[in-house]
Amino acid sequence: MFPLASINMNSGAAASFNFTNIPSTFTHLQLRCFVRATSSQSTPYDLTLTVNGTNPTEFAYHQLRGDGSSVSSANLTSDNVFRIPLAVPDAFHTANVFGNVVIDILDYANTNKSKTMRAIFGWDNNGGSSPSAGWTGLTSSGWFNTNAINRLEIATFGNFSQYSRVDLYGISTSTATGA
């Protein structure tokens, strides 16, 4: 695993994190997100990932999630972004509560197949009741396009708050497993 880029919102809020000119020299990509939104509503926001600067309706996702007292699932068969629902706490939630999201993008440079993305996320609001208690979940998605991925934009509703951060890593093929 090799660090490619980091973006920190240390000096204030911003609408998105943008990674451009991603090299095609790795097998997979991983994003590690530490995020919070500046807007305020009781339900947390979705984290979205736009690929290559376009918003085609070529994404589908499945999600399993829980809020500490119940489990639910969701799916969408035609979306214009890779969507991770309920992953971003906002100004309504306890101060300094950030969501943590790890996104794997498999075979991102392979032009012979569609892309698979998966995410795991979680955050806790120190108790409370749904929908503001906190969430954890797993999301998987397909991007039904064979283009290599060379640009990623991570966004949410409104702006990300100060101290939000996203790190991008490249993952090489393992010589130990041959995968």
**CATH code of residue 63:** 2.60.120
Instruction: Locate 62 and state its tokens.
Output: 């499945």
DSSP per position, 53-84: TB--S-EEEEEEEE-SS-EEEEEEEEESSEEE
Q: Looking at the domain assignment, is residue 177 inside a domain?
A: no
What is the extent of the structural domain holding 67? Answer: 2-171
Asked if 149 contacts 114 with a C-beta cutoff of 8 angstroms, the reply is no
How many domains, in total, are found in the chain? 1
**Which residues of the chain fall short of a pLDDT of 50?**
none
Q: Looking at the domain assignment, is residue 89 inside a domain?
A: yes
Per-residue pLDDT tens over the stretch 48-80: 999 998 766 788 889 999 887 889 998 888 888
The pLDDT of residue 130 is 63
Q: Looking at the domain assignment, is residue 67 inside a domain?
A: yes
Q: Looking at the domain assignment, is residue 96 inside a domain?
A: yes
Q: Looking at the domain assignment, is residue 179 inside a domain?
A: no
Instruction: Tell me the C-alpha distance between 32 and 103, whole Å.
Output: 7
Q: Looking at the domain assignment, is residue 176 inside a domain?
A: no
Tell me if the pTM is above 0.75.
Answer: yes
Q: Looking at the domain assignment, is residue 68 inside a domain?
A: yes
Asked if 4 contacts 22 with a C-beta cutoff of 8 angstroms, the reply is yes
